[in-house]
Amino acid sequence: MKRRLAIAITTATALVILDLITKRQASISFVGAETTVIPGVLSFTFIENAGSAFSLFRSGGAFFAIAAVLATVAVLVTLRNPHTDLETIAFGLIMGGAIGNFVDRVARGTGLLDGTVIDWIRFPNFPVFNLADSGLTVGVALLFVAMWRQRGETA
C-alpha cells in the first residue's frame, strides 16, 4: 500500500506543480494576446472559467470544489486496495487534476470556493483547458485501458 500511495501522491504532486506553473505563466504571457503555436491546430490563450468544460454551470464553483475534495478522498480510499501500476498512476493523475483546479477555486475568488480556473490550451472546436483538466482526462482514459486489459485477461 505504501508503494501505491507513493506513486499516486508523487504523480499528483508533479501534476499540481506543473499545472500551477503553467497557469501562472499563462496569466503573465497570454492575457489579451492569444499565441499561435501551430496555425489552425494549437494556440495558447488566457481564459478565466468559473464553470466546468464549455463554461457550463458558471455558478457551480463551490460544487466543483467540493467534488474535487470528494474525488481526492475517494482516490485515497481506493488506493488501500491492490491496483496495477497503470491504475495507480491513473488515480494519481485524477487526484492531481482535481487538486490543481481546486487550488484555483480556493485561491482565485472573493469567497472560499468561488474562484475561477485558469484555462489556456486551445484547439479548434474544443473547450479551452489546462494541465489539471488533461490529467483528469488522461487518468480516466488510463483506468478504462486498465479495465479493458483486465477484462481481456479474464476472458
Annotated catalytic residue, options 19, 104, 119, 133: 133
Beta bridge partners of 35: 44
Report the candidate in 122, 120, 135, 114 with the shortest Cα–Cα distance to residue 48. Answer: 120
* Cβ-count burial 98-113 (b if 16+ within 10 Å, e if not): bbbbbbbbbebbeeeb
Q: Is 104 annotated in the active site? A: no
* Cβ-count burial 49-73 (b if 16+ within 10 Å, e if not): bbbbeeeeeeeebeebbeebeebbe
Q: Is 119 annotated in the active site? A: no
The residue ranges of DSSP E strands in 30-149, in sequence order, are: 35-38, 42-49, 117-122
Active site residues: 114, 133
